[in-house]
Homo-oligomer: A and B are copies of this chain.
Amino acid sequence: MKSDQIMSVFSEGCHPLSSADILERLQHNKVAIDRATVYRQVSRLKELLKLRVVDLGDGVTRYELNEDHHHHLVCLRCKKIVAIDLSKKTEGLLQQIEQTYKSEQNFILLTHNLAFFGICSDCQYL
């Protein structure tokens, strides 16, 4: 089953991967897979909430595991992506927000996306 092989490339590292990245990694691992299959399975995995979309603002759609929820810091100049862990700081707040929308609008929250954009230290004097 190709979806397992797709899931396995996400286990290799923690960076968000585009469809092209997934394809490349699988081919590098000698797994024959078609582009269309990647798209179809990623879409399915997204619906099953195994993966989620990470849009880092550069027009490329990337995905990552929907577990171990980390966030991202993205440099607007060099596009470097740094994974950050805000769970301690945000956990209470996000739970509170979940409660609020559950009771106010009966909206059941399942996941979220949080990314920060700015200029990294290497790019500040360019």
**Interface residues in A, total, Cβ within 8 A:** 42
Interface residues of A in 35-69 (CB under 8 A from B): 46-47, 52-59, 61
Instruction: Check: A105 CB closer than 8 A to any chain B CB.
Output: yes
Instruction: Check: A89 CB closer than 8 A to any chain B CB.
Output: yes
Min CB gap A18→B, angstroms: 10
A46 partner residues in chain B, CB cutoff 8 A = 57
Are B109 and A116 closer than 8 Å at their CB atoms?
A: yes
Instruction: Check: A114 CB closer than 8 A to any chain B CB.
Output: yes
Cα distance, A49 to B75, chains bound together (Å): 13
CB contact between A82 and one of B58, B105, B115 (< 8 Å): that residue = B105
A73 partner residues in chain B, CB cutoff 8 A = 101, 105, 107, 109
